[in-house]
Structure 1
Amino acid sequence: MTMLATGCLGVRAAPPGATPTASPALTVYGWAGYMPQSILDDFTAEFGVPVTYLEFAGYRQALAEIRAGQVYDVVVLSNDGVASASAENLLAPLDPAAVPNTKNLSPNFRDLVYDPGNHYSVPFQWGTTGLLVRTDLVAGPVDSWTALWDPAYAGRVAIWDMPRDVIGMTLKSLGYSLNSEDPAELEAAAARLAELQGRVLILDSTVATLAPELVSGRIVLAMGWGYDYLAAREEVETVDYVLPREGTLLWVDHLTIPANSPHREQAQQFINFILRPEISARMVNELAVATPNELARPYIDPALLANPGVYPPLEALEHAELFLPLNAATLERYDQIWQQFRSAGATVAP
C-alpha cells in the first residue's frame, strides 16, 4: 500500500540498500543584499534544489574567477560584463523553451545591443546612479555631479570602490560620454578624479548600503542608488536622491549561466522562477530596486512605482546613458587611472 501511494505521487522508492541521490545544489553569485533569502527558500521548497548565494565585490571579480575555472551556476553580470563573457565563450546559451518567462520582460529590456536575442542573459534588475544628499547639511540645492568636488564638503563625500562607475561619473561631470574611449577625455577624467584624493571616503563594494553613513551625518554627499535613499529615509527625512543634470548612469543586472555550470537545467529553472511576475515584484518590494518584468507591476507596492528613486520619470532620463562595453585599451587605462587614484592616499571604509 505504501509503495503504491509513493508511485502514484510520482516518487520512485530507492532499491533496498541504495543510497538516495541528493538534489543538485545551485550556487548563485551576486551583489551583497540583492537576493532575498525568502525567495531562495521558496525556490528550494518548490523544486527541491538548495541554493547557496555568494556575494562578490564586483563584476570584474566574477569574470576573473569564471575565467580561472571557478564553478558557479548563476552569476549576476552587468551590461558590459555580459558582452565580455559571451565574447570569451564563458557563458552557456539559454534555452528559450526552458525560460519561457522572458516573455514577461518589457520590450525595452529585450534584444539589447550587447546580447541580441537575450541569447546569454536575462535582465532582472535595473536602476540609476545618482547623488544622495543630506539636504540639512549642505548649502543650497544640489543638481550636478560636480558637487562631489566642492571643497566645502571635503572628508564628508563618499564614492564606491567601483572603477567603471566612478570614472564614468567623472566623465559625465566633464560633459563627456559615460562610455568615452577618447584618450584625451580619459586623461581629463584622470586629472579630475585626482582632485578627490584625500577628500573622499571610498566604500567597499561588498557593503549593502551607505544609508547608515547618511543617517549619522558622517557623509553629506555621495554617489549612490535609490535603495540607499529609501533605506536612509526610514530614519532621516532630510535625505534626497538627485539625478544630476549632466545625466544619470543607467545600469542593468542580468542573470547568466557560466559555461562550466554542472547544473544548467536547474539554473534555468531558477532564472524562470525569478521572472515570475509575483516573484519579481517581491524583489522590488523587499529591495526597492526596479524590475524590467512588465507583468510584475500589478504586484508592486504603488508607493515604489511612484517613487522617482526607484522608477524615475522619463524626463529625468533625458541625458542618461547605459553602460556599454569598452575596448581592451580603454579598460587597461581604467585600471591605471583607478590604481593611481587608490594608491595616493584615498580612504577606504567598510
Structure 2
Amino acid sequence: MKKIVALTLATSVAAGLFLSGCAMNETSSTSGSTGSNTSSGQREVNVCSWGEYIDTDLITQFEEETGIKVNYNTAPSNEELYSQLQTGGVNYDVIVPSDYMIARLIEEDWLQKLDYSKIPNYEKIGEQYKNLSFDPNNEYSVPYTWGTLGIIYNTTMVDEPITSWGAMFSDDYAGNVLLIDNSRDAFAMALYYLGYDVNTTDEAQIREAYELVADAKARGVYAGQGMDEIFQIMEGGNLAIATYYAGDFLTMYEANPDLAFVIPEEGSNWFVDSMCILKDAKNVDEAHEWINFIASTESNLKNMDFIWYASPNTEALEQYPAYYEETYGEPLDMDLYEIMAAPDSVLENCSMYENLPADTLALYNDLWIELGT
C-alpha cells in the first residue's frame, strides 16, 4: 500500500467512550479573522471541510503560489456544520457539504452563486457530476469528491463475510458495533434494510427505521457512536463492525489490512461532496481561487492519492492508476481502486440522498434526540 496516513486523533480509545458530535477543529495558525486580510494585510480564505479530507501539502502549495493564507477548519458532519451556521460565530468562506445539505442550504439562501469564469478548471469535472438534483443548474457548487457508504468490518472478529445491513442490528456482535453519529446515515441503513426509499417522507416508515436503530441500541448492539473517531477505533481492532465511507475505509485498510468493506446487498448511498461559497463570505475572490486550485487535475491526483476518495475530475480519475504506479513503483490494486471509485454496476444499486421537506427534517431531528445522542 502507498503509505500510512498520520491521524490527528486521540491517543487512547476505550470501548463505550466514543465522542459524539465533536467540536469544530482548526488546523491553521490564524483564527477568528472576519475580513479580507489578516492584521498584517495578507489575503486569506477560511475553509471548512471534513476531518482527514485533504492532502495538507495542497494547502501549503496554494499559500506559496498565491500568497493567500488558508485558515482550514473541520466539522464532523453535515448536520453539525449546519448547526454551526445557524448558531453563528463562524466566518467560513468555502464549505464542502454533501449533496442533500447543499440543496438545503440553497433553499434557505445560505449560498451565493459562483462566478464560473473564475473557475476555469470546472470544465474538467465529469458531466455525471453536474446537473444533479441538489444543484440542477450548476450555479452554487463545484464537486470535490464522490464515494459510497458501506460497512467496515474486521475479518478476524466476524465469523463470515458481511453482506447485509442486518449486521448493524444483530445481536451476533452486540457490544462490538459502532453506530455512525449522524441521523441521515444512521436511519438510512435501517431504511435500506427495511426495503424503503431512503428519501421517503412517510412518517410511519421513518419511525419504523428509527425503532430498528433504537431497539438495537437498547439491546446493547452498539458500543457507542462516532464519526472521525472511527479511524483509530477500527485501525486498532477496538470494534468489529462500523458504518462509514469507502475512501476512509481505504485509509484505515493501510493501517489494518484485516479490515474489509462492503456495500450491502440492499443498496446504499452514493454521494457527491462539493465546494460552495457562503453568501456572507468576506473573501470571495480568494474563495474562487481556492476552488479553482483544488479542482485542477494536479490537485485532484494528489488529493485522491492521499485521502482515497474518488475524484470528479475526469482526467485525474482516469490517470490515477498510472500516477500511482509511477509514484510508488508498483501497480495499483484495482480491487481497492473499485472500492474508491465504484463502477457503474455497483452504483446502480445505490442512491443519492435528497433534501427532505421541513416537516420530515424536523421528524428526523426529534427522533435523533429521542435516540439519546
TM-score class, shorter-chain normalisation, is: 0.7 to 0.9
Counterpart residue number, 1:27:
46
Counterpart residue number, 1:289:
309
Q: Among 267, 274, 277, which residue is 1:257 paired with? A: 277
Distance of 1:159 and 1:261 partners within structure 2? 35
Distance of 1:149 and 1:288 partners within structure 2? 28
Tell me which amino acid in the other structure corresponds to 2:196. Y
The Cα of 1:187 is off from its aligned counterpart by 1.5
Superimposed CA distance per residue, residues 253-295 of structure 1 (whole angstroms, 9 cap, x where no aligned partner): 1101001111111100100000100101111001111111102
Distance of 2:170 and 2:345 partners within structure 1? 27
Distance of 2:249 and 2:101 partners within structure 1? 26
Q: Check if 1:41 corresponds to 2:60.
A: yes
The Cα of 1:116 is off from its aligned counterpart by 1.9
Q: Among 114, 120, 131, which residue is 1:100 paired with? A: 120
- Relative to 1, partners in 2 of residues 1:304 and 1:77: Cα closer, same or farther, differing over 3 Å? farther
Tell me which amino acid in the other structure corresponds to 1:181. T
Tell me which amino acid in the other structure corresponds to 2:353. F
The Cα of 1:87 is off from its aligned counterpart by 1.4
Superimposed CA distance per residue, residues 29-74 of structure 1 (whole angstroms, 9 cap, x where no aligned partner): 1111112221011111111100011111222232233344432110
Q: Among 361, 366, 372, which residue is 1:331 paired with? A: 361
The Cα of 1:186 is off from its aligned counterpart by 0.8
Equivalences for residues 76-95 of structure 1 within 5 A: 76-95=96-115
Q: Among 222, 227, 230, which residue is 1:200 paired with? A: 222
Superimposed CA distance per residue, residues 71-103 of structure 1 (whole angstroms, 9 cap, x where no aligned partner): 211011111111111112211110110111111
- Relative to 1, partners in 2 of residues 1:199 and 1:94: Cα closer, same or farther, differing over 3 Å? same
Distance of 2:227 and 2:238 partners within structure 1? 18
The Cα of 1:114 is off from its aligned counterpart by 1.6
Distance of 1:149 and 1:117 partners within structure 2? 40
Instruction: Find the structure with the greater CA-based Rg.
Output: 1
Equivalences for residues 224-263 of structure 1 within 5 A: 224-263=244-283
333-342 or 224-233, which deviates more: 224-233
Distance of 1:113 and 1:242 partners within structure 2? 26
The Cα of 1:299 is off from its aligned counterpart by 4.1
RMSD of aligned alpha carbons: 1.8
Distance of 1:275 and 1:124 partners within structure 2? 7
Counterpart residue number, 1:270:
290
Counterpart residue number, 1:346:
none
Aligned length: 322
Q: Does the CA-based 8 Å contact 1:104-1:294 persist in structure 2?
A: yes
Counterpart residue number, 2:345:
315
Superimposed CA distance per residue, residues 107-146 of structure 1 (whole angstroms, 9 cap, x where no aligned partner): 1001112212220111111100001121222122210000
TM-score by length of 1: 0.87
Counterpart residue number, 1:139:
159
Distance of 1:283 and 1:163 partners within structure 2? 28
- Relative to 1, partners in 2 of residues 1:41 and 1:132: Cα closer, same or farther, differing over 3 Å? same
TM-score by length of 2: 0.82
Q: Does the CA-based 8 Å contact 2:178-2:226 persist in structure 1?
A: no
294-303 or 218-227, which deviates more: 294-303
Distance of 1:281 and 1:72 partners within structure 2? 26
Counterpart residue number, 1:13:
none
